[in-house]
Amino acid sequence: MTPLRLGLLAEAPADAAALQRRLAEADGRADLLLLPAGHGLDEAALRDAARRHGVWLLGGSLARGAPLLRPDGRCAWQQQHQPQAPAGRWGADPVVFDTPWGRLGVSHGADLEFPKHARAQVEAGAWLILSPAGAEAGHASERLVLSARTRAMENRCCIALAPAQGEALVLGPLEQGFPTDGVLARGAGGWLFATLDPARLAAPTLGPRQWPRAPVPMPQRAEFT
């Protein structure tokens, strides 16, 4: 597969004009762009931006979900999986997206806290999970970053995290051939660009993923003798 030139924006554009200015900065530098959650854009503005700049665009989070747009303006959606208050029921199931760089997943920031969401996407062939996040702070910010690092480690995949403020991160597995802290790229404010090669995740040094296929049984009480 062809290496992916990825751009992450760690800043939420306020309107369509701000988005166009930001995308112009990335022209020629990336093939797929990831926006954070919390922007003031609608679906029509995102479709127009993808067509105008001829890029794949993950348009943050809208009420309908996170849209991944092709350069021709067509899009597919990942809805949020996190339990929705006040009903307390689970949201949408995970989906995967076929692209010129292989199969990708999308996980709304808080959805990274749920291990099975990312694992299902990786088991379906995703090597990279795009995660738009809001303007998190304090415990929420730490929980988001820790969840992203953990999902990358346990699934031996890459996670691209774009928050509305703070530091954008591209994370890989904690394995031989990758940085010891798993951070492939990081940057605060504005664009972060990184080139990712999915072939690195197929290296023999990583070995097979060893996931149990059956649920872990309910623990039984240990008896003292």
The 3-class secondary structure across the chain, one letter per residue, is CCCEEEEEECCCCCCHHHHHHHHHHHCCCCCEEEECCCCCCCHHHHHHHHHHHCCEEEECCECCEEEEECCCCCEEEECCCCCECCCCECCCCCCEEEECCEEEEECCHHHHHCHHHHHHHHHCCCCEEEEECCCCCHHHHHHHHHHHHHHHHHHCCEEEEECCCCEEEEECCCCCCCCCCCEEEEEECCEEEEEECHHHHHCHHHCCCCCCCCCCCCCCCCCCC
Q: What is the mean pLDDT of the chain?
A: 89
Q: Is residue 210 part of a domain?
A: no
Give helix 138-155 / helix 115-123 axis angle, nearest 10°. Answer: 30
Output the domain CATH number for residue 112: 3.60.110.10
Token pair listed for 195: 């080139």
Q: Is residue 225 part of a domain?
A: no
What is the pLDDT confidence band of residue 53, given thresholds at 50, 70 and 90? very high
Query: Nearest 5 degrees, angle CA 35-CA 39-CA 45?
Result: 80
User: What's the confidence (pLDDT) of residue 78?
Assistant: 92
C-alpha–C-alpha distance, residues 91 and 84, integer Å: 6
In this structure, the number of other CB atoms found within 10 A of the CB of residue 142 comes to 11
Q: Is residue 213 part of a domain?
A: no
Give whichever of 48-57, 89-98, 128-137, 139-148 has the largest mean pLDDT.
48-57
pLDDT at 129 over 60: yes
Q: Is residue 207 part of a domain?
A: no
Q: Is residue 23 part of a domain?
A: yes
Q: Kind of pairing, strands 75-78 and 158-162?
A: unpaired
pLDDT at 122 over 80: yes
Residues 40-63, mean pLDDT to the nearest whole number? 94
Residues 207-212, mean pLDDT to the nearest whole number? 65
What is the pLDDT confidence band of residue 215, given thresholds at 50, 70 and 90? confident
Q: Is residue 103 part of a domain?
A: yes
Show the domain range for 184. Answer: 4-201
- pLDDT > 90 fraction of the chain, expressed in percent and rounded: 63
Identity of the amino acid at 19 = L
Q: pTM of the prediction?
A: 0.90
- Locate tokens 């990335």: which residue? 26
Domain count, the chain: 1
